[in-house]
Amino acid sequence: MNALDPASNEELEKTADGFIILKKTEEGTDSDLRNLLYETLTWRIVHENGRQQHRGWFLRHYEINHEVVDWYYHRAKQKYNL
């Protein structure tokens, strides 16, 4: 992880098949801003049938983390008028 905040040093919880279990981050931190971008992309790939070579990965990530992904997406939508 390349974020410059304490969350970047935490041990990440993962599923048995290796997917990160996403947690909400403190708003405004590097991790939070990065997640706003990445999870909005995930939301759009899943909900808007976005073309992506690894679409299956995004579908599984969303299946595991849909509540947090939705939270990031709705925040990004409000913050950036998407």
Q: What is the 3-state secondary structure (H, E, C) of 43-81?
A: HHHHHCCCCCCCHHHHHHHHHHHHHHHHHHHHHHHHHHC
> Would you say residue 32 has pLDDT above 70?
yes
pLDDT value, residue 81 = 85
pLDDT value, residue 50 = 76
This prediction's pTM: 0.82
pLDDT value, residue 7 = 54
Least confident span in 10-19, 20-29, 33-42, 71-80: 10-19
φ/ψ region of 3 (left if φ > 0, alpha if ψ in -120 to 50, else beta) reads: beta
Report pLDDT digits (tens) over 34-73: 999 999 999 999 999 877 789 999 999 999 999 999 999 9
Least confident span in 9-13, 30-34, 70-74: 9-13
